[in-house]
Every structure is written in C-alpha cells, then in structure tokens.
Structure 1
C-alpha cells in the first residue's frame, strides 16, 4: 500500500508527521529512537529504561502513535526497559502496511520487531487496537509473552455501531457537533483530561488520516482458553464501541488467570490506572 493511501492527502500526511516529530523532539529525557526492519517494512520504536530491566512492549490505539505513551514513561521506566512501538498502518513513523486481521502477518511482524530488539519474551501493555494485537500475538506466540496489561480490548464482543450513526447526525453542526461526537465516543472519562486537546487531536486526525475499515475478528472461546499467562484488563463500563459486560464475562469465564476491572462512568477513554503497574510488577503475576 502506498504510504499516502492511509492519509487523505500528502499535505495532511506531512502535517500529522511533522506534529509527531515535534512531540518526539520534546519527549522528556533522552529515549532511544530507531527503525527496525520487518517483513511489513520498517517499524519505529522508542525505548527507555535500564538495559537490564525486564522488557515491556507498548502498543498504542488506532489513529495514534507512540506519543500516546509519553506521560507514562516516567512511571514505567524505573521498573522496565520500555519499548513503545509504532503500529504499522497507523499515523506514526512505521510502514503503512495493513495486513488483513485474522492472518498471522501481524504476529510475524511483531516477531521481527522483538527479534531486532533482541527480546525473546516480553510483557505487553496495549490500548484498544494495541490490546487486540497483544491478544492475537499472545494466542499465536504463547512462548514469547509473559503477561498482558490491556485497556478496552476489541475482539471479545461484536463492536457496537450506534455511535457511528450519531456521528453522522452531528456532522453538519461543525465544531460543536464534532465535540459532541468525540465526547460521546470516548465517554465521561474526558472530565479527567484536557477535553479541548482531545477534541483538537481527534478532529485533526480524522481530517487527514484514513482510519481502518472493517471489524477486527472476535477471538473464540478456545483461543481465549489457551491463554495461560496472567492477563489484566481495564474496561470503561460506558464504552460505546465495545460491550463491556460481555468483554468482562468472556475473559473471566475463559481466560484462567484474567482479572478484569470495569470502571463505572468511564467510556473508551480510560485514564491511566494504578492497577496496571501493580499487576505488571507483582511477583505473583509472573508467568509460571
């Protein structure tokens, strides 16, 4: 896929990537930045933390990049060698390739990323799309994943589509309509963050970037039952994109070592939770 195809125009691509590069230049500290080769093209990785610390891979959400994690590096790097990976086909500095979900190509891609980083086994923290990729990888490559810390993972229930109709109905109302759409999609958790900044980012992204189309495959009961590693999941009870109750029920029923936190009054935008770091650093949650 030509790189400009995931953007609505060459100028839009330049605008978004220039903004991302500015965020990288302002990143606190001096994280290592590199491109690693994979079968899907080069993949961009931001790394920081002690070289001898356990490795933690971060996979961001859709329509995003590793800048999503900048505020969490200070919390995570005292405990881990953290590697934030720009997912292919997203508005970051990785290749624009978008393999068909449900094939093993994302697993092969992540194999190559970990191999290039010299990592045989990792913990993974994922958000939304990144959570789906983390689950898919752990199911396909159980020997390479120790623990999963996931937020709002797709693939456990059929996606809800009612919010898309509301977005269409609000579109003629300009910025007010877009603001209402963003709040409706991401939920009341927005009260804990800078609403204007989130709206501006989301509107800018949807103006210049083509989000993925189609549904992510839903994992089977058998696939979930094969996950014997510890899995910690945080879900907003008011998520309009996912069925939070079904997500919780399937994980607790089929994943032997799953813990699920359902957050009341929160939608798809989930603020960082203390339970994630507690889970990742707890001795009892280690593989085996």
Structure 2
C-alpha cells in the first residue's frame, strides 16, 4: 500500500502537529483503535463518560485533532465524543484511501459504530465529514440516531469549476513556499483572511506540504437511498460557500431527507467558526 505521505519526515511532521494540538484541547482523552474491513481506524474518545455518545467526522485532508481543538463547544459536558480519524486521510487511521463515489465511506462508518459497541449513534460532520455522514445515512440508516451536517458535501455539490480559483495561488505556493500564496489559496473557501485561524492554517499547510492531497469530495447521495433514513437531521449551509452553496444544498436536503431541519448561515463561506447561536442550536438538536 502506498503511503499518503510524501516522506517519513513529512508523516512525523503531520503527526507531531496532531499530537501537539490534541494536547491542548483541555480535556482528558484516550486513543482507541477499532478494526474494520477497510482498515484499522483511530478514534479519540473524550468528554463526559456519562454523557450522550456522539460520533464526530472531521473535514477532508484534515485531522480529528484539528476538529477537536476548533470545536470546543462539543467538549463542554454535553457529550461523550468519539472523534474518528477518517481512513486514508492525515491522522492515525490506516492510509487506505476509499473512493469518494459509491458508499464505501458509509459502510466504513457503520463498521466503526459496530466496533465501538453501539447499535446506533448521534453523529456530526462538516464538509467532507458531512459527506461521510450522508453516505452513512444511506448505507446503514438504522445506525444514525440523530445527525447534524454543516457546510456539507454529498447533498448537492457545486460544479468543480467553482473552486478552480484556488489552483493558481496553489501553484504559486508550491513554487515559492511563500505563506502569502498559501493564504490566497484558502481565500475562496474562507471569504476573508481574518476567517483563517492559526490552527486551520497550520493544519492545512502541514497537509499540503507533507501529504498527497485528495481533491475529490464525497459525491451526491442517491435520493432513494437517503429516503430510508428517518433520523432527525439538521442541515446547515452557507450562502457564500463556493463548494456547497446553500442555494443548492438546502432545497435538495428538504427534498431528499425525510426528517430534516434546514438552516441558512447568512454570510458564511465554506471555512469559518460557527456562531455561539449556531453552536447552541447544534448541541440542542443533538441532545434532542
């Protein structure tokens, strides 16, 4: 199996940042490894052991450590968080890459739930992670108790040309290694430079510098398969998101998800922190 990292030194750099970020989440955690037919999967378990179990999927070409350090609202006592490293992405799961089309990611996620010892779980995912959750809702609808998908792939993705403006700055960054070009690469997703926080910049740079980036997002799910999932579902999309714009995502979510609540995030691009109000809604929805 080919490594997803460009070098052994690069892998050490990515995992060094991972461990450093995880050490700063401010809550005790444990590392759990589970076996699936797709490969060994790493899960960070944290939060109140007596609280509601919550399975969390991170964004693409990112890590669970970044997800946890930028989502502290999930760790404040409402949930026992099971934050999974997506297989084939930077992190501590196996490096076998799954196809973005089809339902392999959903089947993998269902096997993770089984291996953790649950019949079903409440789930949250953003961006690529929301696409994995959408695939799970189709592949094994009974495994999902409640679901939150924000800035989600897999519902109605924008055409690939919407993100082509990232390519020029990316080429310039790879040629010069100047950070200003890297920031310009992220601007189409962020909307403004001040949206790109230090943790996200460090994680994204580590991935670009040291890993083989996977550009393909989870493809749109089949409406007929999604119709089988009756779990209460919250879908949140931004009207300034070039990858998964609200104007495409929310009408499709209303049409294909049986038990859905849709929220428009005004002024929101793909990247950025959730507002306090949005965080409260997510927590309340997941707790039911």
TM-score (norm 2): 0.87
Could you give the per-residue CA deviations for residues 32-86 of structure 1, whole angstroms, max 9, x where no partner exists? Answer: 2122222222211111233332211000000111111234345445222111111
Asked if the contact 1:236–1:270 (Cα under 8 Å) also holds between the matched residues in 2, the reply is: no
Alignment of 1:126-141 (within 5 A): 126-141=125-140
Instruction: Render the CA deviation track for 1:64-122: whole Å, top value 9, x for unaligned.
Output: 11111234345445222111111101100000111223444333322332222211111
Closer/same/farther in 2, CA of residues 182 and 253 from structure 1, 3 Å limit:
same
- Map of 1:28 onto structure 2: 26
Match of 2:84 in 1: 85
Number of matched pairs: 281
Q: Which runs of 5+ in 2 are unaligned?
A: none
Uncovered stretches (5+) of structure 1, i.e. residues with no partner: none
Q: Structure 2 matches for 1:107-146, cutoff 5 A?
A: 107-146=106-145
C-alpha RMSD over aligned residues: 2.4
Query: TM (normalized to structure 1)?
Result: 0.87
Aligned residue for 1:165?
Answer: 164
Q: Deviations over 1:205-240 (max 9, x none)?
A: 212111224453212332333332211112121111
Aligned to 1:209: 211
- Aligned residue in 1 for 2:232: 230
Aligned residue runs from structure 1 range 49-60, under 5 A:
49-60=47-58
CA deviation profile, 1:126-178 (whole Å, cap 9, x unmatched): 01111011111112212111111111111222433335432233333743232
Aligned partner (choices 239, 242, 249) of residue 241 of structure 2: 239
SS at match of 2:89: coil
Q: Matches of 2:188 and 2:101 in 1, distance apart?
A: 29
Mapped contact 2:33–2:43 kept (Cα < 8 A): yes
Distance 1:114 1:101, change over 3 A: same
- The answer to whether 1:95 aligns with 2:94 is yes
Question: What does 1:6-21 correspond to in 2, within 5 Å?
Answer: 6-21=4-19
In the alignment, what sits opposite 2:258? 256
